[in-house]
Chain A
Amino acid sequence: MRNVLHITKLLLSVAVMLSAACTSDLRNSDSDGAGSELRTAEGTGVAGDAHRQAERSAGEVARAMADTADFREERLELVRRHIAARGIEDPRVLESMRSVPRHQFVPEGYVEQAYENRPLPIGHGQTISQPYIVAYMTALVEPDSSDRVLEVGTGSGYQAAILAEIVEAVFTVEIIPELARTARDRLRQLGYGDVHVKQADGYFGWEEHAPFDAIVVTAAAEHIPPPLIDQLKDGGRMIIPVGSPFRTQTLMLVEKRADDLSTRSLVPVRFVPFTRDE
């Protein structure tokens, strides 16, 4: 399996170079058509659109080449058994989860476990979240294709890639330089050109691109930074997982309506009430 991955990585870099030069209509090569709309990230104009179209097509090729039939099969099974079966119904979220090759976002030693429904370590005390939690968080922000989403805590870049399959633009901030650099390279290699990665303190959000329709905070802190609340659009939603590494206890949804803020504590695992009358 590892040899396959090494070869895949080599092929990947070649594919990215080739597809950047070739802007022919490759975008329909993805037969399931997930996220086939043309998106704009920054700037407008025919040249820019064409460039992004080429980038996107290149990404699809890159992802296709980085994938294998085995991984695809495992991924579909994961989505069927652990995500769709546990109440995630949004078709765009499910399609995104089926499309993004999670095995490309986990450290080499954990590739075999990439399609198990569990968080995995990515170094620096951080984890790539459990796939179900990623899907649940994505569904909770109710992403729309025209949305601009801020992610605080890029980590491996997996959550950003999932969002990028659905929304117009993803802005993601990571404070740990090594993680930011790796995620940026990985996302670029996989063709997620409309994910903008910045190495910075997530406390300040990304003011130049604010306001955001949704904010996904993956690296939860014990306070919600006031600048993030300011950068959330009226009617916007912010989602924060609350828990320690390897275990999300609850998800907190912050909703902003006419400057009124409310929180909702959501339970990702459907516990039955923790008491029984005997």
Chain B
Amino acid sequence: MPHSDLLMNRLTTALALVSTGLIGFQLVLMQLLSVVQWYHFAYMVISVALLGFGAAGTVLSLARGWFLRRFHMVVPLAMIGCGAAMPLAAWLAASEHAVARFDSYLLFVDPGQFGSLILTYLLFFIPFFLGALAIGLILVRYSREAGTYYFANLLGSGVGALFALALMWVMKPVLLPPAVGLIAVAGGVLVIPRRYRRRLGTAGVTALLICVWFFLRPFELQQSQFKDLSKTLDLPDAEIVLERSSPYGLVQVVSAPALRHAPGLSLSYRGDIPVEKAVFNNGNWYGPVTAAADSVHLLDYSTSVLPYVVGRPRMVLDLHARTGSNVAQAVTHGAEAVTAVEPHESVLSLLRRELAPDTDSLLHHPAVTVRAEEPRTYLAATRDSFALITQPIVGAFGGTLGLFALREEYGLTVEAFGEMWRRLAADGMISVTSWMDYPYRNPMKLLATLVRMLRDAGVEAPENHLAAWRSWGTVTFVATRAPLGDEALTGIREAARELSFDPLLLPGLRPEERMRYNVLQDTNFFAYIDRIVAGDRGFIERYDFDIQPATDNDPYFSQFLKWKTVPRLFDEVGPESFPFLELGTLITAAAFVQIFFAAILLIILPLFRHGWARGGRVWTLLYFSGLGIGYLFLEMVLIQRFVLYLGHPIYAVAAVLAAILIFSGVGSSISQRLHVNPMSLATVAGAVALLIALYALFLMPVLRATISQPLLWKALLALMIVGAPAFLMGMPFPFGLRFLTQRRRSHVPWAWAINGCLSVVSSVLAALLAVQIGFVAVMLIAAGAYGVVAVISAAARGT
């Protein structure tokens, strides 16, 4: 359907603006819901809400004619409604006046929570549905110019990612929904036609006022009562004394007269535990604000003092320094140089300035050097040698409920420990502490990872390089470059007696030494530990939890669930406790099941109206499903790979996401000038499949070889690596729409529905698959999906 250049320009701009608002809202929502609940909940809600894209396609497919007749009314109205719904949905779901008071902790306790969950889904579904309805309708009406409009969609999305990131630096999370909402409203106002000016103008002004109202009168976020921050604020006289917004999260510093931090403190300690302030990120514990000048450091009464018993390290590297507890311990032990690597810039800024008096200016101490970057990036670049490398404690007191199962932890992989090992001086050591848990998981996986690293490094007898002891709550492992000598062993035994700790691993350790102060009911732990040190891979494979060492290809240290043992575990711990064993994975799996069935429903609904077998339905389904799966699978892997490579997780995510979307947009725009036929579809999809397959094989070696290069070079290389497939991946979707316009025009809205649904299903499925089979396999599946698209495109020549 031809249209004037002026209208096209305005529609393109409006489409780009609403796309900016939508992707911005998606990122903003992730931040907001992570503050109110947990990352997994945010992930689940957003995934379901994004089905709004698929639903919009389904609705367009069912009532294409009705919507096309009202195009000039519906497009601006949907955009305006989309923008206004953003702050309204946030207010109704996350404020103290929320109508949907959902708490993911209570999901398996209170059946009423399911109603709240569905209401939460619906609230966030609305803005995505309205936005996608507007975009979809434009693509349906002007499907011959799909390349141009899809370019605007992708370009707007790319800009939206960067824009949301910038906003997070300057605004509190609660102000972000009205801010991105305004952009979508602006898009709608831009395309109000003259004849509807009065009616739609009123809607526009109302939407504008709603956004401005929530901007000027921000509501209070209602956090889950089970979040660390909520529980801390319940303490008498607790108050938030400092607050910073950033893309890393909402940082809050709490002061409370009853706040004491002494993880796993020895029962031999008889002194006071000082009251401290504490830092929380998105409502989760981040670390205590520790005074460095204390002559006796509390950590000296925890198992993490082990490296200072083994030796007297002078050059210390603390990876993920957080609020500096390990740094302070190193300083009190007289370390001459302590390098603190911490990527959270807001926390570092607070520690350097406002919290400096509380930490005795720890970060300004002459021995301390601070590096604001990802630990792995620092490790790859540094040429220094260290006598001791430390990390934060692994796990959490009482367990994490598996809430971090899908979080990539690149500091706890075999490769990470390998890099630490290479940076050790001749007398150096790596020290890492874990909370004890039950069933035994964290200490076992940690040890398995250390042993694998030692063997990979050519250490023939790891048992001579490993020392460990445990208290009632924690276990600390030390891996030493040189074999442990008699002097160190004597020192460890003496200190264990003084501190009521039990040696767990020492060369020549007698069984009776292992359980003198802290008795375990399940003494199999010791046999398990010995089998891991002995390199018994069969035992690790048979264990009921996943304790295989984490690798860079599968960096999910906290993922312990094995699907095949779920029925057995369910019987063992009972239905009440089971969900709380590995909550994170289960919530994500639950999200996938919901999305999968909802997506199927949205995809097949139009078939009831238009018929199941008529003209090329299978082709359309396979083509656009393949694109949805392939695109999202590769996007997810590229983002993960470059987070590690570029070293600044938030910037890396935004930059890579923006680059993928913008390059795809350029590809889409250029595709508009190319002739569409089955061979062009097959050629582009085949090229993408081939490129992704090559990436699966060579991406990691290339990144490993260049990770120590200067940031500028790495950024340029990243741009090329991301840009090449993204450019090509921008073409098949508009190609497909144009192809359908030529042959089966009524399929166009259905294609939009399939693409929207599969994109959402794929993002959750990619996360679940990456945990189980690793990134390389996920990339190969992406290549396969594009391969299928190529094959069916080639086969379409005869149709």
Residues on A close to B: CB < 8 A? 109-110, 116-121, 123-125, 130, 175-177, 201, 203, 220-226, 229-230, 242-247, 249-250, 252, 254, 261-267, 269, 271-278
Contact = CB atoms under 8 A, between A and B. Distances in A.
Nearest to B542: A275
Contact of B236 (A175, A220, A266): A175
B528 to A, nearest CB: 7
A225 B397 contact: no
Contacts of A121: 105-106, 109-110, 225
B106 A247 contact: no
Interface stretch (B66-74, B574-582, B633-641): B574-582
B67 to A, nearest CB: 44
B522 A118 contact: no
Nearest to A179: B234
Given A175-B235, A244-B580, A247-B401, A222 B226 contact: no
B533 to A, nearest CB: 15
Most buried by A among B105, B396, B438, B521: B438
Contact of A274 (B230, B231, B267, B440): B440
B528 A275 contact: yes
B577 A263 contact: no
Pairs A-B, 10 closest by C-beta atoms: A247-B580, A223-B265, A222-B397, A223-B262, A118-B576, A263-B472, A125-B225, A264-B519, A274-B544, A125-B231
Nearest to A274: B544
B256 to A, nearest CB: 10
Interface string B234-266: 111000000000000000000001101111110
Nearest to B472: A263
Nearest to B272: A226
B106 A224 contact: no
Given A118-B109, A175-B236, A201-B236, 7 more contacts: A125-B227, A175-B235, A222-B473, A230-B270, A247-B581, A263-B472, A266-B521
Interface of B: 105-106, 108-110, 112, 224-227, 230-231, 234-236, 257-258, 260-265, 267-273, 396-401, 436-440, 472-473, 500, 517-522, 524, 528, 539, 542-545, 572-574, 576-577, 580-581
Contacts of A250: 438, 521
A89 B401 CA distance: 31
12 contacts: A109-B112, A226-B272, A242-B473, A244-B398, A245-B105, A261-B500, A263-B518, A263-B519, A264-B520, A274-B440, A274-B544, A275-B542
Contacts of A223: 260-265, 273
A273 B542 CA distance: 12
A226 B298 CA distance: 13
Given A265-B520, A267-B438, A242 B234 contact: no
A18 B521 CA distance: 50
Nearest to A116: B576
B271 A226 contact: yes
A34 B230 CA distance: 40
B398 A226 contact: no
A225 B273 contact: yes
A109 B110 CA distance: 9
A265 B397 contact: no
Given A203-B260, A243-B398, A261-B500, A124 B225 contact: yes
A243 B580 CA distance: 10
B521 A264 contact: yes
Contacts of B105: 121, 245-246
Nearest to B528: A275
A220 B265 CA distance: 13
A178 to B, nearest CB: 8
Contacts of B230: 124-125
Given A124-B225, A244-B580, A250-B438, A277 B520 contact: no
A269 B520 contact: no
Contacts of A130: 576
A247 B267 CA distance: 25
B527 to A, nearest CB: 9
A151 B533 CA distance: 41
Contact of B472 (A177, A230, A252): A252
A258 to B, nearest CB: 14
Given A118-B576, A249-B438, A265-B472, A124 B234 contact: yes
Given A249-B398, A249-B437, A263 B231 contact: no
A278 B542 contact: yes
Given A125-B225, A226-B270, A242-B473, A117 B576 contact: yes
Contact of A267 (B112, B257, B264, B522): B522
A269 B572 contact: yes
A271 B263 contact: no
Contact of B262 (A124, A176, A222): A222
B223 to A, nearest CB: 10
A254 B266 CA distance: 12
A186 to B, nearest CB: 19
